A and B are shown apart, each in its own frame.
Chain A
Amino acid sequence: MSTLVFIEVSEGKVRKSSLEAVCYAKAMGSPVTAIVLGPADATELQSLGKYGAQKVLHASDAKLAKGVIQAYSAVLTKAMQDENADVLVLANSSLGTPVAAKVAVKTGASFASNVVELPNTSSGFVVKRSIYTGKAFSLVELKNPKKVIAIKKNAAEVKESGGSAEVVSYPVSLTDADFNTTILSSEKATGDILLPEAEIVVSGGRGLKGPEHWGVLEELAKTLHAATGCSKPVSDMGWRPHHEHVGQTGVKVAPQLYIAIGISGAIQHLAGVNSSKCIVVINKDADAPFFKAADYGIIGDAFDVVPKLTAAIKAANS
């Protein structure tokens, strides 16, 4: 028995969320085999050993350079059989989660996504899932002998366990039927730091009064190497792009630090941020509901407080 971990790479580099998946699988106890699809840097493949993978399968076929759900699920299904893996672990993502679901159907495995903790195997195999957009959890028993688990960000701590991995080339045979969708082109969102993976997020709301005032927020984000986000009204009004919308129907974030500026804290917004480790709220309205969900709060005008905060961080770092 072994655990297979699907590794997502971006421009040849392993995503941090995939390292969490390797560490999660390692903590489960069985030998861990990682699988990487498409081109990837050799040093990145090797480095997976440090986090707990004993073996790394690399399917370098150029046809797998882009994330085609059907093709990826076909390869992972075959790899589960070849490796005699009873569990597949991967990080939740717009690609990984549907791929995992298809593998579960193909292999007859029980499936759970948004898993936040290691499974409890004292009686059966029970995982804890985040549900109601972070407002609750469910304990779910996965009944079938095979399991597919998609983990939520921060479900496992990334730590090096000091091992090394054997990297093995993994040839695949794919048919046209595995490419039933064609990716014509892709474009990267502007901004260097991906919002869903950012360690620090600085978000603005209607309290900033207009898109022309985002400079103060961006200056703070730059100082903190943070990603920028916004509330739903702000993206609805077109002040900021849709992909920055943090909330129940937008991006869900789980950073170490979330700084909300001029956001009142509607329950829909809180649902997107409630997995954050630490929340700071800056708002001039002392009654803003967001203060109740915050760790630290400052009552004050954003245009006064935010530049002072940026300066204080610069001073502390110098």
Chain B
Amino acid sequence: MKILVCISHVPDTTSKINFVDNSTKFDTTGVQFIIGPYDDYALARAIELKEATPGTTVTAINVGLSDTEPTIRKALAIGADDAIRVNADPSDSFFVATQIAEHAKGFDLVLMGRESIDYNSGVVHAMVGEILGLPSISPVMKLDIEGTNVKMTVEIEGGKEQVEAKLPLVAGCQEPIAEWKIPNMRGIMSARTKPLKVVEPKATQPTAVIQKFELPAPKGAVKMISADNVAELVTKLKNEAKVL
């Protein structure tokens, strides 16, 4: 079985978000980049499937400029066999999906996170599925394969569903599909020599273009209320905030 895992290169979840160049560019100063947390779950499940089924290979793919390579190497250190970097700025979902679909042909299973934690669109899996004419499903919390049959637990609004589909398939993953894996020393050493192929993007017309970024308006100062006067909080929530 051939598994493709799509990796986003995103700011660590604790990052302070700022913009530069007249609010048109993300400020990377002091920001640590990681594999998207949801993509990390997808990668971990792919490695588990590889370990359980001999002959399975895992390829990582990232759409990004050369600064994403340390993140891709981390995916190789965790256990991917090889990697592809599509040399382009991942500006919108349809663009990213188009690039992934170009390289996803021939894979039995395409896994990624339910969404990237930078632009949060949550649709690349659906778009890749649509472009390739494959079933796509998200957010998947459990995924097991028997032959060409895939059984999944999928989160829905207010509950869960048991869903079945056939390979090949595209899935967006979230916890608790697998435990995150931490690369060991052997993995880190071997990652340096694993193949990382850099390819140029397929030309497409931009369909959605970011003009500018904005930060939320600063929050007003917190109003402290004494623990001995809880009734005052109820009064304020009713009359001042008008939320009760």
Contact = CB atoms under 8 A, between A and B. Distances in A.
Interface stretch (B53-61, B67-75, B224-232): B224-232
Nearest to A105: B130
A316 B19 contact: no
Nearest to B123: A101
Contacts of A110: 94, 207-208
Given A69-B137, A102-B127, A133-B120, A249 B38 contact: yes
B234 A93 contact: no
Contacts of B136: 69, 98, 102
Contacts of B207: 109-111, 142-144
B93 interface: yes
Interface residues of B, number: 79
Given A133-B120, A295-B223, A304-B227, A187 B157 contact: no
B162 A183 contact: yes
A305 B227 contact: yes
Interface of chain B, helix or strand or loop or mixed? mixed
A139 B227 contact: no
Contact of B123 (A100, A180, A278, A281): A100
A137 B214 contact: yes
Greatest chain B CB density within 10 A among A10, A93, A135 is at A135
B241 to A, nearest CB: 4
A20 B212 CA distance: 26
Given A242-B175, A312-B231, A316-B234, A136 B123 contact: no
B162 to A, nearest CB: 4
Contacts of B223: 295-297
Contacts, number: 253
Given A138-B213, A304-B227, A316 B162 contact: no
B88 interface: no
Interface in B59-96: 92-94
A98 B97 CA distance: 13
A213 interface: no
B218 to A, nearest CB: 11
A186 interface: yes
B211 A141 contact: yes
A268 B34 CA distance: 15
A292 interface: yes
Given A137-B214, A142-B208, A182-B163, A300 B227 contact: yes
B186 interface: no
Interface string B101-144: 00000000000000001111111011101110011111101000
Interface string A113-157: 110000000000010111111111111111110000000000000
A297 B208 contact: no
B208 A114 contact: no
Interface string A187-204: 111000010110010000
B156 interface: yes
A182 B125 CA distance: 18
A135 B17 contact: yes
Greatest chain A CB density within 10 A among B93, B156, B234, B238 is at B156
B161 interface: yes
B165 interface: yes
Interface string A71-98: 0010000000000000000001111011
Interface of A: 8, 10, 15, 66-67, 69-70, 73, 92-95, 97-102, 104-106, 109-114, 126, 128-144, 180-189, 194, 196-197, 200, 224, 242-243, 248-249, 256-257, 266-268, 271, 274, 277-278, 280-281, 291-301, 304-305, 308-309, 312-313, 315-316
Interface of B: 11, 13-14, 17, 19, 37-38, 92-94, 97, 117-123, 125-127, 129-131, 134-139, 141, 154-166, 172, 174-176, 205-216, 219-220, 222-227, 230-231, 233-238, 241, 243-244
29 contacts: A10-B158, A69-B137, A70-B135, A97-B122, A102-B129, A102-B130, A104-B127, A105-B127, A111-B208, A112-B121, A130-B120, A131-B118, A131-B213, A136-B215, A136-B216, A141-B210, A144-B207, A180-B165, A180-B166, A182-B165, A185-B161, A248-B37, A249-B117, A267-B13, A280-B233, A295-B223, A301-B227, A308-B230, A309-B234
